[in-house]
Amino acid sequence: MSDTATKATPPEAPDPTTEAGARPEFSLGAALRGLAEGELGSVRVILGIALVWIIFQSQNSNFLTATNITNLLLQVVAVGLVSVGVVLVLLLGEIDLSIGSVSGLCAAIMAVLNVQHGWSPVPAVIAAIVAGAAIGLFQGFFVNFFQIPSFVVTLAGLIGWQGFQLQVLGDTGTVNLTSGFIVDLTSKFFSTGVGWVIAIAAVALYAATGLWQRRKRASAGLKPEDPLRFGVRTVLVGIAILVTVYVLNQDRGLPYAVLILIAFVAVFAFITTRTRFGRHIYAVGGNAEASRRAGINVTRIRATVFILSSTMAAIGGVMAASRLLAVNQSSGGSDFLLLAIAGPVVAGTSLFGGRGTVWSALLGAILIGSISNGMDLLALSSAVKFMITGGVLLAAVTIDSATRLRRQSIRRV
């Protein structure tokens, strides 16, 4: 066991040409491998979106028009916002099944306060969001202190909050919204010029933070990301932003609602990847016991994430109500919950915890929204739509599990 040959060249010794701390070089082979192992989950979902778009465009030439793309993005705003909270919960390895009911309940609270009690719109919206946070605190308490699986607690919430929603809405069951502010959330657009300014600012911000990080790594004597890879990524993201705004400007312009969605996604993406709190979310999702022993307050992280999940559900509910111009008994019901969870999973966030990004909320919502929008354009029957949606969900979860199995098999090498 102590033969010198082994000592001289241990089998795991790195390639001498590889510098310690070097990032893997960018190559097609590595990229394909990364794709299979779920490293480039966002690239995978973008390819999926492209495929879906090509299929629907070939069936109906109205699919890729500026008007339809604008409608598509407006349709995915509510579910995308809810999915942001879902990603946080999934990263912890938990689940929140109450988000649909919570979004409906909070929208109902807003509508009733605004329309029936004469509150002005802004306080009504704030009340709805605070109610969402309180619900998250309540559910997180049961998950934390009674150690009940989140699946069960939020399943109770799914039914209970829906009942509360019916109670709040009262006999009529429907409250129509007329308030300017609430309606404006999803019906106002930035002018062409403002849209371009926002787009250019976003591209500049993205490129600047990327360059700043490269400089910081270089000045610390660390090897920066491969320049080709960095360049390709920055240019592609820049083009995506500019093309999106160009297309939207061909129709009515950049919608307020889309900017709200992207802002929430960007802020939470930043929090999860760049702050101590975000790191702890991933740590708890990867190994809760190890995190606890390392001094991370697992209870507090879990409670905070459940509050954020319900809060995002409330915000999504407000946006859904704004788009529908009403809150009714089926708000937040039907497949809203499943689509909000399916989006991030389709886009590479694992159901098993610890893996995924907040961007998957946006990309997943666009993918699922595209399928739904395309099927509406083709005037498919509900029967076909449900079956196809179910098939897509199954495929997404299968890919997630296959990725996980592959990762486990690699570790046994």
Partner 1 sequence: MTDATATQPAAGPKTPLLELKGVSKSFGAVRALTDVDFEVGTGEVVALVGDNGAGKSTLIKAISGIQPGDRYAAQFEGTDVNLNTPHDAAGLGIATVYQDLALADNLDVVENLFLGHEMSGPGGPLSLLDETSMEHRALDLMSQLAVTTIANVRTEVGSLSGGQRQSVAIARSLLGEPKVVMLDEPTAALGVAQTRQVLDLVKRLKDRGLGVVVISHNLADIFEVADRIIVLRLGQRVATFDRATSTPDQVVAAITGASSNGQKGDQR
Among the residue ranges 10-18, 102-110, 195-203, 329-337, the one whose residues contact partner 1 (CB under 8 A): 10-18
Q: Note whether 283 binds partner 1 by CB under 8 A.
A: yes
Burial class (CB in 10 A: 0-12, 13-18, 19+), 85: buried
Q: Among 100, 85, 56, which Cα is nearest to 372's? A: 56
Q: Note whether 294 binds partner 1 by CB under 8 A.
A: yes
- What x-and-dash track marks residues 332-371 binding partner 1 by CB under 8 A? ---------------------xxx----------------
Q: Note whether 296 binds partner 1 by CB under 8 A.
A: yes
Phi, psi of 355 (to 5 degrees): -130, 135
Nearer to partner 1, 112 or 355 (CB): 355
Quote the CA–CA distance of 35 and 19 in Å, as a whole number.
24
Out of 290, 325, 378, 395, name the contact with partner 1 by CB under 8 A.
Answer: 290
Q: How far is the CB of 230 from partner 1 (least distance, A)?
A: 15
How far, rounded to the nearest angstrom, does the alpha carbon of residue 51 sit from its chain's CA centroid?
Answer: 20
Q: How many CB atoms are closer than 10 A to CB 202?
A: 19
Long-range contacts of 226-235 (CB under 8 A, 24+ apart): 226/23, 226/25, 226/26, 228/26, 229/26, 232/26, 234/206, 234/207, 234/210
Q: Note whether 13 binds partner 1 by CB under 8 A.
A: yes
Among the residue ranges 115-123, 175-183, 232-240, 281-289, the one whose residues contact partner 1 (CB under 8 A): 281-289
Q: Note whether 27 binds partner 1 by CB under 8 A.
A: no
CA distances (Å), origin 27, targets 16, 112, 143, 169, 324: 19, 57, 44, 57, 47
Size of the site for partner 1 (CB under 8 A): 47
Nearer to partner 1, 159 or 410 (CB): 410
Q: Among 127, 123, 122, 84, which Cα is nearest to 107's? A: 127
Quote the CA–CA distance of 371 and 63 in Å, as a whole number.
11
Q: Note whether 121 binds partner 1 by CB under 8 A.
A: no
Out of 10, 29, 58, 117, name the contact with partner 1 by CB under 8 A.
Answer: 10
Q: How far is the CB of 235 from partner 1 (least distance, A)?
A: 23
Out of 82, 150, 175, 280, name the contact with partner 1 by CB under 8 A.
Answer: 280
For partner 1, the binding residues in 199-228 under the rule CB under 8 A are: 216-217, 220-222
Residues whose CB falls within 8 Å of the CB of residue 397, separated by 6 or more in sequence, listed in order: 345, 351
Among the residue ranges 65-73, 135-143, 196-204, 267-275, the one whose residues contact partner 1 (CB under 8 A): 267-275
Nearer to partner 1, 125 or 298 (CB): 298
Q: How far is the CB of 17 from partner 1 (least distance, A)?
A: 10
Element (H, E) at 220: none
Q: How far is the CB of 84 from partner 1 (least distance, A)?
A: 17
Q: Note whether 406 binds partner 1 by CB under 8 A.
A: no
For partner 1, the binding residues in 224-263 under the rule CB under 8 A are: none
Looking up tokens 């886009």, which residue turns up?
A: 347
Q: Among 222, 186, 188, 193, which Cα is nearest to 325's? A: 186
The two three-digit tokens of residue 200, written as one number: 């250019």
| Footprint of partner 1 (CB under 8 A) | 1-2, 6-7, 10-15, 18, 20-24, 216-217, 220-222, 271, 274-277, 279-280, 282-283, 285-287, 289-291, 293-296, 353-355, 407, 410-411, 413
